Chains A and B, each alone.
Chain A
Amino acid sequence: QKEVEQNSGPLSVPEGAIASLNCTYSDRVSQSFFWYRQYSGKSPELIMSIYSNGDKEDGRFTAQLNKASQYVSLLIRDSQPSDSATYLCAVNIKAAGNKLTFGGGTRVLVKP
């Protein structure tokens, strides 16, 4: 089992719809969770951090964390073509020496 798993996609959503991305992780004691956006040919950009159970909203982005079920999700509301990118889930894995471990990424394609 990979430490951080994501569906690779592509996740195709129409413009204006909600994109829902999921991420599961293996380390039950992980405390810090992050979502990065990476455009093709560019470096990852941090868009959301979440540390406690529940929802955290920032603009059109909402991160959701459920530690009991070991998953973290990202919702993108009112999706725009500019949201087309790969979204990487990252988790501080204690077993890996508290290093940030990345999932494989979900490619999102927003169609006008």
Chain B
Amino acid sequence: SAVISQKPSRDICQRGTSLTIQCQVDSQVTMMFWYRQQPGQSLTLIATANQGSEATYESGFVIDKFPISRPNLTFSTLTVSNMSPEDSSIYLCSIPGATNEKLFFGSGTQLSVL
């Protein structure tokens, strides 16, 4: 299976600042997904990152807060903008398996906002 590298692995940020998370895959993939996992909660899909077009956001998530870039088929970034303590979560990038059903996850970014 593909290797998914995500960085930073963790960060502590101040309220009102922004953080960009990078996700690099060692092979070309059509779709990449960004998930959020709030403390003690399950995974919630933020958006699907599409190469060559704007990301598709899930209900409750907006581009101004979570801008996403997908410059090529191996790389994507998620920015968490104007952060507040409520944004403290694990952020995960993921790619689908060969049959586009299962997902494989990067190592995650543990974000704490003070």
Contact B43 A42 (CB under 8 A): no
Contact B42 A105 (CB under 8 A): yes
Of A44, A49, A92, the contact of B105 (CB 8 Å cutoff):
A44
Interface hits, B28-73 → A, CB 8 Å = 41-43, 45
B90 contact set on A, CB distance < 8 A: 43
Q: Given the interface contacts A41-B110, A43-B108, does A102 sit within 8 Å of B102 by beta carbon?
A: no
Of A42, A99, A100, A104, the contact of B102 (CB 8 Å cutoff):
A100
Of B41, B101, B107, the contact of A92 (CB 8 Å cutoff):
B101
Contact B43 A34 (CB under 8 A): no
Distance A24 CA – B101 CA, assembled complex (angstroms): 18
Interface size (B, Cβ < 8 Å)?
A: 15
Contact digits for A79-98, partner B, Cβ 8 Å, 1 yes 0 no: 00000000010101000000
Contact A46 B102 (CB under 8 A): yes
Distance A55 CA – B92 CA, assembled complex (angstroms): 30
Distance A101 CA – B86 CA, assembled complex (angstroms): 22
Of A43, A90, A103, A105, the contact of B92 (CB 8 Å cutoff):
A43
A6: shortest Cβ distance to chain B, in Å? Answer: 8
CB within 8 Å of A: which residues of B?
41-43, 45, 90, 92, 101-108, 110
CB within 8 Å of B: which residues of A?
32, 34, 41-46, 49, 88, 90, 92, 99-100, 102-105
Q: Can you pick out 11 interface pairs between chain A and chain B where the beta carbons lie within 8 Å of each other?
A: A42-B107, A43-B90, A44-B43, A46-B102, A46-B103, A46-B104, A88-B42, A90-B103, A92-B101, A102-B42, A105-B42
